[in-house]
Amino acid sequence: MERLFTFLLSEQHAVSHFTVTALAFLCGTLAIQCLAATRFKTNIQIVLFGIAITTGNLVSFFDTLWSSYPYLLWHIPLVTTAIAAIVVFIAACISAYFYLCPRRTIKTVILAGCVLAFGLSFSAFTILVSIVKPFVLAYDLSAVLSIMVLGSTLCGFAFWELGSLAAIRPRLFASILLALTLTVLPLGSMGSVLPFGEWMTVIQTPDSASFSPIGVIALSEFIAIIFLVGIASLLDIRVAVAQQKEGDRIRHLADGTFEGLLICRGSEIIDANQRIQEMTGLDLTTLKHRAMPDLFVSPPSERTLSGREAGSSDIFAPEQLELVGPGMRRIPVEVLSRDMPYVDGQSAAVLAVRDITERKAAEEHIRYLALHDSLTSLPNRRGLEMVLAQIVENSRQTGSESAVLGLDLDGFKAVNDTLGHYAGDLLLKEVAARFQKQLRDSDYLARLGGDEFVIILRNISSKDDAVKLAKRLISCLWQPFKLSGHDAYVGVSIGIAVSPRDGDTAQMLLKSSDIAMYQAKLHGKGQVCEFAAGMDADLRERHDLELDLRRALSRGELKIHYQPLFDSSGKLTAFEALARWPHPERGMIPPDRFIPLAEETGLIVPLGEWVLRTACKVASTWRSDISIAVNLSPTQFQRVDLVETVSAVLKETGLEPWRLELEVTESLLMEDTAKALALVTSLRERGVRVALDDFGTGYSSLAYLHNFPFDKVKVDRTFINKITNDPNAWTIVESIIVMSHKLKLRVTAEGIETGAQLSLLKGHGCDEMQGFLLGRPMPETEASLLAGEKQTGRKMHEILRT
Ligand SMILES: Nc1nc2c(ncn2[C@@H]2O[C@@H]3COP(=O)(O)O[C@H]4[C@@H](O)[C@H](n5cnc6c(=O)[nH]c(N)nc65)O[C@@H]4COP(=O)(O)O[C@H]3[C@H]2O)c(=O)[nH]1
């Protein structure tokens, strides 16, 4: 030992120490980099490590030899040196193999260190032995032993450090430790040998234990291994216990999470928490025997399998997969993976498996809500457009035809307004159910909102299929709907468009069916209309007219004409107020055109109120025995404030209530008989008179005449037209006169155009006469003049005379 210290401290040059250390550090660092370079295959790593160590060993040995015994350099035997280099290379490769083996423990790491130390010492002693041949080498046993233990320890710790968990430090420390090994072993080996001067003197009496250098090395190595492996085993046990505790701690932690956790190396499952066992229905032992990808319906991607590196800032979305659950049930899961050091110190992929069944169900529900109408559960506009787009595409490819039916309920608003929204909702559901019953499985029904529905008929043989269905749909609504104890009636107007003729996109087809539906509405309610080219132009025209009507109303461009009514004695009894629209560009627009438009657009409310107010105001300036008749539209009639409006107008204009006669039509009474009766009664109670207009058209229900407190009946002009040449028409008119009189109702005949009609009616007791023969609708000034005349009955007598 003393010899060793003397050698290390006094015999070596400082320059040599430095050079050896620097070269050893360089080679050590290279060797460590080779072990750490995981991008290389293991075999390549081992070979590169072997080369770096062999080079480092030879360089540091020869440098030491050169600085201690420069004259010996020329006696180095090349063959022995080559053998020594091969031994070092093999020892380095074995130690690298130990280090890189998957199940690395402290023991394997120390063993790797011992093997390398053995190789390095063997090389040094072998070369020294061959240099001094034929003499036997003299050495210091205790020094050799110390060097071996020190070398093995340094080497072992170099490997241990490299395998430790820290990020930067291990490579640096491992490089330093390996460099020390490469420095200490050649130096120490040389220092353990007696100096050649001394050695020549003791050659005759060598150390008793010095049989041969190889034996010495082997013995030293054996003792070093026993000693170090013993310590390593103890450490291994302690580490294993610590790992077990850490493992248990992590398992408790992992079992407490809601996510399933799988710890894998490649496809091998090395651990799993309780949750994943519940999710798969497999216990840990079974799981460990399964390949990880087999747990999923389709295997995870390479990215998930390899896992994101711990500490990496790369963010990638979790992968959505299906886990095979108990009973082969497919469980939708989200899998995130991360590459992390496991408790055994080696890296493993940790897969977090989150059950997303509820989230998927919620997403599905949200999607359902987005595509369906919440009231009827039918597909909504978005859902319809998606399906229709597919159908159009399919039609394009196969050349088949599909029909789109646009449906709009007639009279729904009245139900909603009178019975309330709850009843309206019930009605819509019931309507949807009735429609559905008329459809085949392949047909598609959607609700666009409000009272609008759409039906798609796929692959029709001809458009007659759609027309037939439309008729069935209309008739399926004939039966009343029982809503909150009331009978409610609604109808439906249907427009039909056929793909690809009426549109080659979903939007165009919907638009075409919509246009056709509007046309159906214009033709009267409960109609079917097929789309035809040019219809949209009609609709545009109608739209322009609506805008003009709004403008005319706001600018006060509308006028009222007054048509006189006479009693049977020829006395002027009343005027009927009839709205007129002198359009600045289109000329006079007849009420038959703009009144229905005003009805549909709701403009009838301000228009009707304006007519009522103006007519009452004008009439209030006339003689008190002349009344004014004003038409009431269904929409006006449905307004809750009608009675109040009428009262307010009468008060405002000062017209006596009995001089106002409101004309209502039969259709208006049918929509809600009870409410109509209440309204008519209420108006009559306020002294206003009510007449049933256009009698003879429509249902001509005698029940209305009997049940409603009307003041008079106006027989429609289409009947009056025929009374002189159609005996049946006359029989009906005559019956109406007789019956009305029996019910104490006055009868007015409208549309009298000939003297024959007039004398026939007059002769059979008709109470009041109106018609072009007696007076056309006239402007206010003319009407006021006529109302001011004393002898207005003169005209009728003159007519009858001629
Ligand atoms: N061919 C012929 N026709 C005759 C004869 N005598 C009267 N008429 C026409 O018959 C219609 C009578 O009005 P109506 O039945 O209430 O039918 C009215 C009424 O339902 C509606 N209307 C007119 N003004 C108003 C209004 O201010 N409010 C409401 N709600 N409807 C109105 O428009 C309809 C048509 O009004 P007008 O075109 O003014 O047509 C008027 C009048 O000009 C005749 O001898 N021969």
Contact 321, 380 (CB under 8 A): no
DSSP alpha helices (H): ranges in 101-140? 106-132
Give the pLDDT of residue 445. Answer: 96
Report CA(553)–ligand 1 centroid distance (Å).
19
**Ligand 1 within 6 A of 599 CB?**
no
Among protein residues, the one with the nearest Cα to ligand 1's atom 43 is 777
Query: Amino acid letter at 724?
Result: T
pLDDT of 170 higher than 70: no
Checking if the pLDDT of 644 tops 80, the result is yes
Nearest CA to ligand 1 atom 20: 631
Q: What's the 578 CA to ligand 1 centre distance in angstroms?
A: 6
Q: 41-68, pLDDT tens digit by residue?
A: 888 888 888 998 898 888 888 887 777 7
135: confidence class by pLDDT, cuts 50, 70, 90 = low
Q: How far is the CA of 750 from the centre of ligand 1 (A)?
A: 10
Every domain of the chain and the residues it spans: 2-237, 256-362, 372-533, 553-801
CATH number of 553-801: 3.20.20.450
Q: What average pLDDT does range 474-485 have in this prediction?
A: 89
State the Cα–Cα distance between residues 770 and 748, nearest whole angstrom. 7
pLDDT band for 4, please (50, 70, 90 cuts).
Answer: low
Distance from Cα 771 to the centre of ligand 1, integer Å = 10
Longest dimension (CA), the chain: 179
* Distance (Å) from CA 728 to ligand 1 centroid: 25
Q: pLDDT at residue 203 above 50?
A: no
Whole-model pTM? 0.48
Residue 751 in contact with ligand 1 by CB distance below 6 A: yes
Return the higher-pLDDT residue of 165 and 632: 632
- From residue 240, how far is each of 270, 345, 366 by CA, in Å? 16, 11, 51
Q: Classify domain 256-362 at the CATH class level.
A: alpha beta
C-beta of 579 in contact with ligand 1 (< 6 A)? yes
Average pLDDT over the chain, rounded to an integer: 84
| SS3 of residue 425 by DSSP | helix
Task: Compute the distance from residue 552 Cα to the ligand 1 centre, in Å.
Answer: 20
| 7-11, 595-599, 678-682: least confident range | 7-11
Ligand 1 atom, smallest distance to 632 CA: 30
pLDDT at 296: 92
Which amino acid is present at 266?
A: G
Does residue 631's CB lie within 6 angstroms of at least one atom of ligand 1? Answer: yes
Residue 179 three-state SS: helix
**Atom nearest to 590 CA in ligand 1:** 38
pLDDT for position 535: 83
pLDDT-derived band at 781 (thresholds 50, 70, 90) equals very high
What does 685-721 look like in DSSP terms, one character per residue? HTT-EEEEEEETBTT--HHHHHHS--SEEEE-HHHHT
Q: Is the pLDDT of residue 729 over 70?
A: yes
Q: How far is the CA of 592 from the centre of ligand 1 (A)?
A: 8
Tell me, using a 6 A CB cutoff, whether residue 515 lines ligand 1: no
Quick: pLDDT tens for 551-563: 999 999 999 999 9
Q: Is the beta carbon of 222 within 6 A of some atom in ligand 1?
A: no
Residue 562 CA to ligand 1 centre (angstroms): 10
750 Cβ below 6 A of ligand 1: yes
The residue whose C-alpha atom lies closest to atom 10 belonging to ligand 1 is 751
Residue 236 Cα to ligand 1 middle (Å): 110
For atom 2 of ligand 1, the residue with the nearest CA is: 751
Structure confidence at residue 308 (pLDDT) = 58
CATH number of 372-533: 3.30.70.270
- Give the list of residues 6+ apart from residue 553 with CB closer than 8 angstroms, or none: 603, 606, 607, 610
